[in-house]
């Protein structure tokens, strides 16, 4: 069976993978779903020093200290920035990269540049707390922004969302070992609604056709956990 490291997106935490992690573990897989520094159960570590590189280091060091190899590294949304950087830092420990309706950045690109329309909208909520510039301040009903429309699941999600340092979205990705990172197999699980904004020819070519889509909201790991877990299990069996 495979080892998965599931990396969440902006404003989320490892909690958002609970339904998928439960299913993968029931299939016999090992699953790690950490929260990135400053978010969710690690929100007490919030500081003005947190940026994209902090979160890349979070995952790279997890791979190192847990002595994980042949890892299937999964990133959702902003997490696509993080897994790209972590696979670049620790290519020998990563066996597959999976982009879950995620950012798919180029070297030297920030998330703000990569997904300008969506992130510029989030920027309108920019505010400061304890000297840290933050976006995505949690509020009732915010889960709907991520495509979670079920009232019970939405309330559970709203209770767990946290604000994110703005620097995570503006710091440019700096790749140091891009050839080795790109040599790692990749797959893409995306929402049908985001297909139009993606370079499908590039994704198909780099993943040898492993691009699947599902008609659901952006937080597909919450709204379609069976589908996501089944696809991840299929990738593990390649």
Residue with tokens 């830092």: 89
* Of 57, 64, 55, 137, nearest in space to 94 by CA: 64
- In b/e form, how buried is each residue of 29-46, taking b as 16+ CB within 10 angstroms? bebbbbbbbbbbebeeeb
Indicate the SS3 state at residue 189: strand
The tokens describing 192, both together, are: 């049908």
Which residues are CB-contacts of 151 (< 8 A; sequence separation ≥ 6)? none
CA distance 217 to 221: 9
Which residue numbers are catalytic?
77
């Amino acid at each position: 069976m495979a080892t998965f490291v599931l990396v969440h997106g902006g404003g989320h935490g490892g909690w958002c993978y609970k339904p998928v992690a439960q299913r993968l573990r029931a299939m016999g897989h090992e699953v790690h779903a950490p929260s990135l520094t400053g978010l969710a159960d690690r929100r007490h570590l919030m500081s003005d020093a947190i940026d994209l590189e902090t979160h890349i280091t979070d995952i790279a060091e997890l791979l190192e200290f847990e002595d994980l190899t042949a890892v299937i590294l999964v990133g959702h949304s902003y997490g696509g920035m993080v897994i790209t950087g972590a696979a670049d830092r620790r290519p020998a420990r990563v066996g597959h990269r999976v982009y879950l309706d995620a950012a798919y950045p180029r070297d030297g690109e920030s998330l703000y540049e990569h997904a300008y329309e969506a992130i510029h909208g989030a920027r309108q909520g920019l505010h400061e707390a304890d000297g840290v510039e933050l976006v995505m301040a949690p509020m009732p009903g915010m889960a709907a922004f991520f495509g979670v429309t079920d009232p019970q699941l939405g309330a559970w999600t709203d209770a767990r969302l946290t604000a994110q340092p703005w620097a995570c979205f503006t710091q440019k990705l700096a790749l140091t070992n891009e050839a080795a990172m790109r040599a790692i197999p990749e797959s893409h699980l995306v929402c049908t609604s985001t297909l139009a904004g993606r370079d499908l020819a590039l994704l198909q070519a780099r993943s040898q056709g492993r691009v699947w889509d599902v008609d659901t909201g952006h937080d597909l790991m919450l709204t379609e956990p069976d589908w996501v877990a089944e696809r991840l299990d299929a990738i593990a069996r390649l």
